[in-house]
A and B are shown apart, each in its own frame.
Chain A
Amino acid sequence: KAGVTQTPRYLIKTRGQQVTLSCSPISGHRSVSWYQQTPGQGLQFLFEYFSETQRNKGNFPGRFSGRQFSNSRSEMNVSTLELGDSALYLCASSLGQGSLNEQFFGPGTRLTVL
């Protein structure tokens, strides 16, 4: 079974631009979560989608948004990029919700904002 895939793997943007990252979950998984990973802040939860609906949201500004499609694929959008948005963006999928649903992470998209 294929793992979680994220595209693109690397991205360089300039301040003020916007970016869209894509995540394809493991087949059959309906929940997709997004995380931002930086050396200083570690892994921080962005949001979670289940059945095309945002179920949970972390403490990030409205410039960060996402959506989930009927095939469970998810996209994350960051508008008006800032230097501090440079990070590894990780997507994780799980079968459903609930504490015991194991999350499987993708390799991430490395975003650099210049």
Chain B
Amino acid sequence: QQQVKQSPQSLIVQKGGISIINCAYENTAFDYFPWYQQFPGKGPALLIAIRPDVSEKKEGRFTISFNKSAKQFSLHIMDSQPGDSATYFCAAKGRGGYQKVTFGTGTKLQVIP
């Protein structure tokens, strides 16, 4: 019940295109859904996060879409750039303290010029 399923495992997008990564969860107790970006040799860094009372959140070229009834959320990267090439993880965390963060398996994005 704690699992977060992420797809695709890898993604190749041309510069200027839209990158879309999808995640699905089962546990309805999750109430915080962050996305992390990880470059080789670095730890993950928070990119953008959403709570289930909002259906969409946009920060620059990055947008999270959230479908509470379907228990799915996705990351859209508009106008993808070679500098966006990284591994992206979706995650979910339950409400309240003492709740661990459950991560998806990651999507390796490559943006080609």
Residues of the A chain whose Cβ atoms lie less than 8 Å from the Cβ of B36: 105
Q: Is the CB of B43 within 8 A of A99?
A: no
Q: Mark B67-101, 1 if CB is under 8 A from A, else 0.
A: 00000000000000000000001000111111111
Q: Mark A79-101, 1 if CB is under 8 A from B, else 0.
A: 00000000000101000111110
Q: Does A21 contact B (CB under 8 A)?
A: no
* Bound Cα distance A104, B46 (Å): 7
Chain A nearest Cβ from B71, distance in angstroms: 17
8 Å CB contact of B99 from A56, A90, A96: A56
Q: Does A33 contact B (CB under 8 A)?
A: yes
Partner-binding segment picked from B12-20, B55-63, B103-111: B103-111
Partner-binding segment picked from A12-20, A40-48, A70-78: A40-48
Range, interface on chain B: 20 to 34
Known contacts A42-B105, A42-B106; is-contact A55 B97 (Cβ 8 Å): yes
8 Å CB contact of A42 from B43, B46, B99, B103: B103
Binding site for A on B (CB under 8 A): 31-32, 34, 36, 41-46, 49, 51, 89, 93-106
A sample of 18 cross-chain residue pairs with beta-carbon separation below 8 angstroms, ordered by A number, consists of A4-B43, A42-B103, A42-B105, A43-B44, A43-B106, A48-B100, A55-B97, A56-B99, A58-B100, A97-B98, A97-B99, A98-B97, A99-B51, A99-B93, A99-B95, A104-B45, A107-B41, A107-B42
